[in-house]
Amino acid sequence: MSLSPTAIVLCTLNAKYIHASLGLRYLLANMDSLTPHTVLREFTIRRKPSELVDELLALSPRVVGFGVYVWNVAQTTVLVRLLKEARPDVKVVLGGPEVSHEWAEQEVFHLADHLITGWGDLSFPKLCHALLHGPKPLMKVVVGEQPELDQITLPYAHYTDADLSHRLLYVEASRGCPFKCEFCLSSLDKTARAFPLEPFLAEMDALYRRGARNFKFVDRTFNLKVETSARILQFFLDRLTDGLFVHFEVIPDHLPDRLKRLIAQFPDGVLQLELGIQTFNAEVQNRISRRQDNDKTVSNLAWLVDHSQAHLHTDLIFGLPGETLDSFAVGFDRLVALRPQEIQLGLLKRLRGTPITRHTLVHGMVYDANPPYTVLQTAVVDAQTVQRFCRLARYWDLIANSGRFKTSLPFLLQGPSAFAALLDCCDWLWHTTGATQGLTPEILVDVLYDYLTAHKGLPQQEVQQHLVTDYLASGARARPSSLREVLPRLNPPAAHTRAGTPAHRQIRHN
């Protein structure tokens, strides 16, 4: 029986259109003789499942493979149910981190025909060949084959011109992680392995020559091997041009001088480094098997702030076993003092398969049963405090990470503890507005003005000066009531859009 050009459909639901699935493109690149019969379809989680079923069935597929992640498992479950109701003969194959562990209890698994756990680069094509040509596979669950990386065909030619123009391009120079942080799925890896460097760089050069300027590396430990990291950094230094943007996740306590010299050569707006601090509490670090030299981390962050123009995206996690609000505050204060451009405040998630579950009983960990499985309370943090932190994290994004209040923020955080000052402000904002969504820049300006003048008793003229400076720099064109008398009569200048401004970098990161 001959196969149609759409006999196999690779599908996933992305969080946003700007994201492009690297995993599906790996599968497509390794389909071999089945490549002419395979198509890729990406949707977003906001689309109606009934519409997606119609689009998929219009292709008359015989096999549909779904990439399942924590952010799309609920919508994918609905989509698979509708698809199987309409066409029971279509074989549905699942893969991805969300269904690679604890799969037996998941509804989407029971709806599907087959599941590939772990790596699917070579296992998915083999399963499709068996489904289409026989012999019929006997097992519903297939343990993904983990080949040497030089046996995997790289996927980057499958980024389309539209992808290059409008979407984030995810790339990876290595897979795996040697560290064992128990909240992370990478803790299940035995080690990190690098793709052969020369073929990888040749693919990056091909993307660059096609016009790609936005490269987001998904490697968990980009700077693990200094020689490889240095080669990749030099590759992009040799190709500096307008619009180039490169993102790496780096180990915060490992920054040799060779890498520093290269990082220092990148101009503003080109390089973004993600540094996962997670916690500065040594006792908590030890409890969750996280190896991190806090003094070296602080020293490296200080160097990056003072001697590089890289945009620093740092992370802290609230709700780790045994971490109190007070100890988290100490870590936050330490990180704020280092002045990274961005601090993401996240809530612990119990991802399927991660070893963090071993602390559940001893530390009273209670998690939401629904994705993304965020912690609801612990033995030392009650549910009310968790909700209080969630509001604080949202306000922090609006005020600090947005880049809209650069001069006002130090004014807002002044005092013995930046976290205590922030928490007081966020509690007041919640009591005053009752909202964490739908707060326009003008509303934020007015409520911050009221907080600083009426609640904190700070001088009106000084508060207005900071807020006016920030409001004009943001490019906003309305007139908040608290600044109406002091704003210039002319419209403020348009927001800067050159690569490197805080707002531009934040958009690119998101």
pLDDT for residue 477: 81
Q: What is the pLDDT of residues 45-89, one digit of tens each?
A: 999 999 999 999 999 999 999 999 999 999 999 999 999 999 999
Q: What is the pLDDT of residues 325-350, one digit of tens each?
A: 999 999 999 999 999 999 999 999 99
Query: Helix, strand, coil: what percent of the chain each, to 5?
Result: 45, 15, 40
In which residue ranges of the chain is CATH 3.40.50.280 found? Answer: 8-147
Q: What is the pLDDT of residues 258-286, one digit of tens each?
A: 999 999 999 999 999 999 999 999 999 99
Q: Encoding tokens for residue 110?
A: 């029971």
Q: Would you identify the CATH topology of the domain 159-357?
A: pyruvate-formate lyase- activating enzyme (3.80.30)
pTM: 0.92
How many Cα atoms sit within 13 Å of 104 on the Cβ side? 0
Domain 8-147, CATH number (from 3.40.50.280, 3.40.30.10, 3.40.630.10, 3.50.50.60): 3.40.50.280
| Rounded average pLDDT over 125-138 | 96
3-class SS at 471? helix
Maximum separation of any 2 CA atoms in the chain, in Å: 81
pLDDT for residue 187: 87
Q: Which residue has the tokens 């609640």?
A: 455
Low-confidence winner among 162-166, 196-200, 382-386 (lowest mean pLDDT):
162-166
- Which residues have CB under 8 Å from 438's CB, separation 6+? none
Please say if the pLDDT value at position 158 is more than 50.
Answer: yes
3-class SS at 48? coil
In which residue ranges of the chain is CATH 3.80.30.20 found? Answer: 159-357
| Rounded average pLDDT over 174-181 | 93
**b vs e for 362-387, b when ≥16 Cβ sit within 10 Å of the residue's Cβ?**
ebebebeeebebbbbbbebbeeebbe
